[in-house]
Each structure stands twice: as structure tokens, then as C-alpha cells.
A and B are shown apart, each in its own frame.
Chain A
Amino acid sequence: MMSLPARLGALSPYLQACGPLKALLPRAVNTEVLMKPALCGHFGARLAHTDIKIPDFSDYRRIEVLDAEKSSQESSNARRTFSYLVTGSTAVVGVYAAKTVVTQFVSSMSASADVLALSKIEIKLSDIPEGKNMTFKWRGKPLFVRHRTEKEIAAEQNVDLSELRDPQHDRDRVTNPTWVIVIGVCTHLGCVPIANAGEYGGYYCPCHGSHYDASGRIRKGPAPLNLEVPYYEFPDEDTVIVG
């Protein structure tokens, strides 16, 4: 698109063949010089609409329309396609960039790295001797990591499921039978059970007398469910990452 603004001016005094020059002079200083026709065009007033010269926009034209003697119809499709392609791809790229920027700003409001770091806990298993239960603070709750003995493992695996209030076999509750990892919150009313206590060799909740076994299952007492087993994995022999 090439646009040209022009101003309409008052024309009549000037539309004469260099006639009224004399009348415009307050005092004829050197009339001969000033009467020369060459000075007619130097007033700067545009005389008629036919005097408007459309500037040469060749510097801005595309190559296909530089030649004034060639119809612009043939190239019109190609030019339009090019323009639309460029616009379209810029739009796609722009939308993607906008989406990225917005996502970055919005996701800055989500949990920060230090908070996220708290969501996982890495435990060195060699610190826990056999038979011992260690408690860690994880996500604001106590986490029990118990290193079970062979006897305990065998005992738990042989328990008859019909005895259990919340029937779950031991293998469904542990990945590696040596290690029991449960959240230490009693499923009754939320107290923290005591390790290595109770009649079943597991945990005992002192608040209302719930007895859990070495697999964290409820055996006796008011609690309805077994102790919750969180997600954990063993990246190697010696560590476990919970969460």
C-alpha cells in the first residue's frame, strides 16, 4: 500500500501564465529579473490536481511489480500467498512465544524449588540397623522406616488375611520386604504410634490403644485402616527416596 497525502490550496491567483507578478510586488526593485518566466514555478503553490506528482515508490516495491509495463495481475496470487504465509507463520510463532511467556509467569506462582525439595526425602538405609525403626519428618508428617529382621518378614508374610480388619498381604505393602516404609499417623484419630510396641511386634498407638504389626497393618484397637504406605523407590541398594 502506498499512500500520498496532498493539500488543496487556493489556486486562482497563480493560475495565469506568469501574469500578475508585477501586481504582487510592493516595490519593483528589479522588475526585469523578477519577471522572468523561470521564476513562475518557484512560488511553491500547487496549481491544479493534475500537477500532483505521485512519487516513485520503486524503493518499496516487490521485484515482480517494479516494471510499470507489466500487468500486476499475474504476480498477484504469488505475492498474496507470500504475505499470508509470512503473516501466518509469524502468528504461529508469536502464539507459541506468548504461551511460553504466560506459562512462565503463571508457573512462577506455583511451589518454589525449596518447597518442592521438601516433598521428597532421601534416606540412607545403612544408618538403620536391623530391627530398628527410624522416624523422619516428611511433608509435615512422621515417616517410619523399619529395617525388618528375617523372622519378622516371615511372620508377616504368613498372616492369614481373614484375620485382618483391612486385609492386605505384606507383599502388597512393601517393595523390598526388608524395609517397611509407612507414614506414622494412626488411622484412627491421627496420633503417632510408638515403634516396637504393642502385642503384634509392630507399633502401638497410645491414644486409644490401636495395635499395628510389623507391616503396619491394624490388628487390634479402634483404627479402621492400615498405616498408609507412601510412594518410594530404591535408586540403589543403600538409599530410598520417598515421595
Chain B
Amino acid sequence: HLKPTEIQRFQRTSRQSAVVVVHTVDKMVASMWRISGAVNRAFGRAGYPLLLSLRRGQASVSYAQSLLGAPETRLTTLSNGLRIASEETNQATCTVGLWIGCGSRYESEKNNGAGFFLEHMAFKGTKKHPQSALEKAVESMGAHLSAYTSREHTAYYMKTLAKDLPKAVELLAEVVQSSSLSEADIEQQRNVVLRELEEVQGSLQDVCLDLLHATAFQGTPLGHSVLGPSANARTLTRNDLVEYISSHYKAPRMVLATAGGVNHDELVALAKQHFSGISFEYEGDAVPVLSPCRFTGSEIRMRDDALPLAHIAIAVEGAGAANPDIVPLMVANSIIGSYDITFGGGKHLSSRLARLAAELNLCHSFQAFHSSYNDTGLLGIYFVTDKHKIEDMMHWAQNAWMNLCTTVTESDVARAKNALKASLVGQLNGTTPVCDDIGRHILNYGRRIPLAEWDARIEGVTPRIVRDVCSKYIYDKCPAVSAVGPIEQLPDYNRMRSAMYWLRF
């Protein structure tokens, strides 16, 4: 059975042409990325358009080679359940990190924001290395130590030279297992967290998408924002953080992932040395179980006429990460694509909605997204537009959805499949994206899905499949809408709901 990827991230480069599928990573910072296709890369290197060149061998690696060239990801499991996965490529650098299957979805109302707070505390020192010592150790290696928290995953990872792998693993093990969590640091970090909350209010994209989750999954843990409410930032105690760690940082839910110039056996030995101590038992045998989250068709409107642009997201319930419908939905999102007012394509852009956006000046930007979680997801379109164009943009966006369900053609699907394949290959451009890919795949599917398998799955998508799958998720369903800014023109919910089907006989 199919277990495709849930999240893809793309590097924003200086040249952007045909933008393809975008999936959100619900990180608290910089959630959306866009890719320029592999063709663009060829532009830069070869100096002349690859497609126009008859000499095929100009690209440094062909698509087929990219598919099969990546070495197999090796996977080992320790006795306590910790999984170790690595992709070994002959490089001088590597990224090594710990991906943990916990996030804001596992938090309750009372401790929502604990994971985020913990991420802040992570680099404040461990029992063996107080903060300055930890910083010195990392800096002297020339390494980058980072972390992110999302709704279902938490990651601590380090980008370093391949030869520094032992030290990196040791430091990571300390950060995760024996963070000092001193009271003084906690108090100090409160202000930092509050400051960050304040700053996020300026990133209306994050606000809009957080509100979308809050309303779509109201009453369920998926509705929690990763940042947590400000009240919790003020009142979380050391006990809360310790409790969070002891309930969720368990070996079976962790993956030690590496990509770059590392040797798998060496890595396993290091892991045995440093990570054997992570427990795999829960207190009182209370294993946290993820219950399904109910999706509610609803809306939230945050009107503020003082803001210059309106940020609006509309979404329906999508497919979970392991659902085979993911691939047709990715292709469908690729058909809608994305757009930014800086695109030069104008009326020659490949996505129909982008063409309309350019010709009718419908919006400043839009992107189709699909955030998928364990058993559910959000499939939607996010757009930023002027306050007089909201109604038109919403109409055409929903029109694009209806077209997906009814009239998608062979050429649409062929173009989208190509773009999707190119983006899947293109995003794995470095040890860190590869490592992240490995970590998330193992957490979601228990194995790494190789590119060749992606390619085969995508190849099997036909227009009929796209129509059927999109009808299943989009046609005549209640959407969740969130809107921030000068949104007076946003139509009434009942009208948006009516635009989710066509009267056809």
C-alpha cells in the first residue's frame, strides 16, 4: 500500500517561473516555500534553455539518473525501539538529527505550547554542557544546530562536517535527554516566547493558516497552534516541560536520521552508545493514542480594515499522510499551482488560475496547499489579495476546484505530473532536506519512500483518477475558511458553500 510523503518544501530562488505544487509545513516560521523547476536549474548551468537544446547530455544528471542514483536509505532499529536511518552519499558534510513523533497535536488545552517552549529551552544548556559550553562546542565544529516543532513532529538537527559526526550525535543526545531546564532560563525564555508571539502577528500568512486549523479542527487537538496561547507561555512551569518530555520523548517515537558522508554502521554504534538510555515505557502504561480529529466546515473572519491586503485561506478535509489518495491530490494541486504578482509569465502561465490572476489582476499571490497529518489533512488554496478583488478571486479559485472535479484534461494532468516529479527531485537539494525527508517518512510510514516509487505512483495518475479523487474530497463538501484583513467583500459562507458544486445535468 502506498505511503506517500506529506510535506514538501521548496527553496525560493531568485528566478521563479512555473511554480508547482506547494505543501505547507506548519512550522511557526516561513511555512511556505516555492520551487523553480529543474528546467530553471538548467538555465543557470548550461547558459541556454535545456528544452531548446538538441544535445540532451548537457544536464549534469538526467531525470532517470536522479531517480535511481540515490543510494538506498538504510534502516536499523535499536532494542529500545529507536530507529536509525541514513542515506550515505560521498560528501564532506552531513546533517544528523532526531525526529520525534510529537507535536502540538499531543498537547492539551492546558499545556498547549509546551513543545514550542521546550524547543526554546533546548539550546540553553544541558547537564554536561552549560549554555556557553554547548555553544562553544557547536561553534568550534562550525556546525549549525537547529530545531523545529510542528503539529505532529519535532526535530532537533545539526548540520556539520561528516568527520564531526560522533561529537554531533553526542551533543544531540544530550540536548534531547538531559536538557538542564533551569528555572532562571525558563523565566527568561517566557519573554522571548511572548516576543515571538508578538512578531508572528505580523506574519499574516501564519496567522491566517493557524486560524484555519483552529476553525477547521475546532474542539480537537489539531486545532491547537504550535505556539500556544500567551497565557500558557506565562504559566508553563518546569514540571510541565519535564512531564511533556517524559510522556512523549520515547524511543519508539524517535528517529535518528542522517544524510551525507556518514557510515551507517558507525552511526548505529554511536546511537547505541548515546541513545540506549531513552526509555520506551510509559508511566502507568498510558501510551498516548492519537484519536481521529473531527473536521468542521466553518469560517473565522478577522476583519481589520487598516491592513493593506486580505489574506484568505479556504480548505476542505484532505487525505492523511498514508492515504493512497495523496498522489492524485498532489497532482491536482500541481494543476492549480501557485502564483505571485512578480511572475513574468502573465497570460502564458500554465496554470489556468494563474493566467486569470495575471490577466484580471485578481490577487497578489495564491498557492494551492495540502497539509496532511496522520489520518486527516487540509486541502486548500491560500491567497493574498486587494480588498476589492476578494469576491472575484474566491469565485475563480472555487471555479478551479470545480474544474478539477469535472473537466480536467489529459494535457493538464501531463503537465502537472511533470512539474510534480521535477519538484520532488529538485527539493532534495542538500543533506538537510534529504535528512528531513528521511526523518518524516520514517515517522509517517515506517520506511523511506524512494524517488522511483514516487515516480511510479505519479505516473499512474490519469485524468479520470484526478477527477474522481477530487470529487471525493472537494465536490459538495463544506469548506473551512479563514480570513484576515480588510475582508468586507468576502462572500457569505452560504455562498461559498454553494460554489462547491455545479448545477449540471
Q: Kindly identify which residue among A4, A7, A47, A56 contacts B230, using a CB–CB cutoff of 8 Å.
A: A47
The CA of A81 and the CA of B233, in the complex, are separated in Å by: 45
Most buried by B among A12, A54, A80: A54
- Give the B interface residue count (CB, 8 A): 50
**Shortest distance from the beta carbon of A203 to any chain B beta carbon, whole Å:** 66
CB < 8 Å neighbour of A8 from B200, B298, B304: B304
Which are the 10 A-B pairs with shortest beta-carbon distances?
A69-B291, A8-B304, A68-B219, A2-B298, A54-B218, A47-B230, A50-B225, A15-B198, A48-B197, A71-B292
Within the assembled complex, what's the spacing in Å between the Cα atoms of A71 and B318? 12
- State which residues 373-411 of B face A: CB under 8 Å: 375-376
- How far does the alpha carbon of A71 sit from the alpha carbon of B292 in the complex, in Å? 6
A73–B200 touching, CB < 8 Å: no
Given the complex, which residues of B lie within 8 Å of A41, measured CB to CB? Answer: 231
- Chain B residues lying within 8 Å of A11, measured Cβ to Cβ, are 198, 201
Q: Is the CB of A51 within 8 A of B231?
A: yes
B152 lies within 8 A of chain A by Cβ: no
Known: A5-B303, A47-B197, A73-B317. A65 touches B229 (CB 8 A): no
User: Are A49 and B211 also in contact (CB < 8 A) when A3-B299, A3-B301, A71-B376 are?
Assistant: yes
User: What are some 30 contacts across the A-B interface (CB < 8 A)?
Assistant: A1-B493, A1-B494, A2-B298, A2-B299, A3-B299, A5-B301, A5-B302, A8-B303, A8-B307, A15-B197, A16-B191, A37-B234, A41-B231, A47-B229, A48-B229, A48-B230, A49-B210, A49-B225, A50-B197, A50-B229, A51-B229, A52-B211, A54-B215, A54-B300, A56-B219, A67-B294, A68-B219, A69-B220, A69-B294, A70-B292
Q: Chain A CB within 10 Å — which of B211, B294, B295, B317 has the most?
A: B294
Interface residues of A in 72-115 (CB under 8 A from B): 72-73, 76, 80
In the complex, whether A29 has a CB less than 8 A from a CB of chain B is no
With contacts A8-B484, A17-B190, A56-B219 known, is A3 near B294, CB below 8 A?
no
Whose C-beta in chain B lies nearest to the C-beta of A65? Answer: B294
Q: Kindly state whether residue A63 has any CB partner on chain B within 8 Å.
A: no
Chain A residues 1-34 with CB under 8 Å of chain B are 1-8, 11-12, 15-18
Query: Given the complex, which residues of B lie within 8 Å of A80, measured CB to CB?
Result: 476
Question: Which residue of chain A has the shortest Cβ distance to B290 in the bound complex?
Answer: A69
Interface residues, chain B, with chain A CB atoms under 8 Å away: 113, 190-191, 194-195, 197-198, 200-201, 207, 210-211, 214-215, 218-220, 223, 225, 227-231, 234, 291-304, 307, 317, 375-376, 476-478, 484, 493-494, 497
In the assembly, what is the distance between CA of A16 and CA of B233, in Å?
11
Is B295 in contact with A17, judged by CB distance below 8 angstroms?
A: no
A-B contact sample (17 more), CB < 8 A, given A15-B230, A50-B227, A72-B317: A1-B298, A2-B218, A3-B300, A6-B301, A11-B201, A15-B194, A15-B197, A48-B197, A48-B229, A49-B302, A50-B225, A57-B218, A68-B219, A68-B220, A70-B292, A72-B294, A76-B477
CA distance A189 to B195 in the complex (A): 107
Which of A8, A37, A73 interacts with B302 by CB under 8 Å? A8
B295 & A72 in contact (Cβ 8 Å cutoff):
yes
> Which chain A residue lies CB-closest to B223?
A54
Closest A residue to B292 using CB positions = A71
Instruction: Specify which chain B residues have a CB less than 8 angstroms from the CB of A3 in the assembled complex.
Output: 298-301, 493
Complex CA–CA separation, A40 to B207 (angstroms): 24
- State whether B296 touches A72 (Cβ < 8 A): yes
User: Is the beta-carbon distance between B493 and A17 smaller than 8 angstroms?
Assistant: no
A-side contacts of B230, CB under 8 Å: 15, 47-48, 50-51
Pick the most buried of A41, A48, A68, A69: most chain B CB atoms within 10 A of its CB.
Answer: A48
Given contacts A5-B301, A8-B304, A17-B234, contact A48 B294 (CB under 8 A): no
Give B496's nearest chain A residue, CB to CB: A1
Q: Specify which chain B residues have a CB less than 8 angstroms from the CB of A72 in the assembled complex.
A: 294-296, 317
B375 contacts A71, C-beta separation under 8 Å: yes
Complex-state Cα separation, A52 to B301, whole angstroms? 12
A52 to chain B, nearest CB (A): 7
Contacts of A2 in B (CB 8 A): 215, 218, 296, 298-299
B214–A1 CB distance below 8 A: no
Q: A72 vs B493: C-alpha distance in the bound complex, in angstroms?
A: 19
| Nearest CB of chain B from residue A135's CB, rounded to whole Å | 64
With a CB–CB cut-off of 8 A, which chain B residues contact A69?
220, 291-294
Known A17-B194, A47-B197, A51-B229: A1·B484 in contact at CB below 8 Å: no
Q: A76–B366 Cα gap in the complex (Å)?
A: 29
- Residues in B neighbouring A70, C-beta threshold 8 A: 292, 294
Q: Tell me the minimal C-beta distance from B226 to chain A in angstroms.
A: 9
A4 CA to B223 CA, complexed, in Å: 15
CB-CB nearest in chain B for A41 = B231
- A5–B215 CA distance with the chains assembled, in angstroms: 11
Q: Which residue of A lies closest to B317 (CB)?
A: A73
- Residues in A whose Cβ lies below 8 Å from that of B229: 47-48, 50-51
Q: Chain A residues with Cβ under 8 A from B220's Cβ?
A: 68-69
Asked if residues A7 and B198 are in contact (CB atoms below 8 Å), the reply is: no
Nearest neighbor of B497 in chain A, beta-carbon distance: A1
A40-B230 Cα distance, complex, nearest whole Å: 11
- Contact at A50–B298, with CB atoms within 8 Å? no
Whether the Cβ atoms of A54 and B219 lie closer than 8 Å is yes
Q: Is the CB of B303 within 8 A of A48?
A: no
A188 to B298, CA, bound (A): 82
Q: How far is the CB of A16 from chain B (nearest CB, A)?
A: 7
Instruction: Determine the residue in chain B with the shortest Cβ distance to A1.
Output: B493
CB-CB under 8 A for A48 and B201, given A3-B301, A15-B195, A72-B296: yes
* Contact across chains for A12 and B296 when beta carbons are under 8 A apart: no
Least Cβ distance of A125 to chain B in Å? 62
Residues of A within 8 A of B307 (CB): 8
Q: Which of B218, B307, B478, B494 has the most CB of A within 10 A?
A: B218
CA distance A77 to B207 in the complex (A): 32
In Å, the complex CA distance between A15 and B227 comes to 14
Instruction: Note all chain B residues with C-beta closer than 8 A to A73.
Output: 295, 317
User: What is the bound-complex CA distance between A80 and B225, given in angstroms?
Assistant: 30
A7 and B219 CA atoms in complex are apart in Å by 21
Q: With A and B bound together, what is the CA distance between A5 and B195 in angstroms?
A: 25
Judging by beta carbons under 8 Å apart, are B228 and A50 in contact?
yes
Residues of B within 8 A of A52 (CB): 211, 214, 300
Please, which residues of chain B bring their CB within 8 A of the CB of A54?
A: 214-215, 218-219, 223, 300
Q: CA A17 – CA B189 in complex, angstroms?
A: 11
* Interface-central residue, A1, A5, A69, by most chain B CB under 10 Å: A1
Please state if A68 and B197 are interface contacts (CB–CB under 8 Å): no
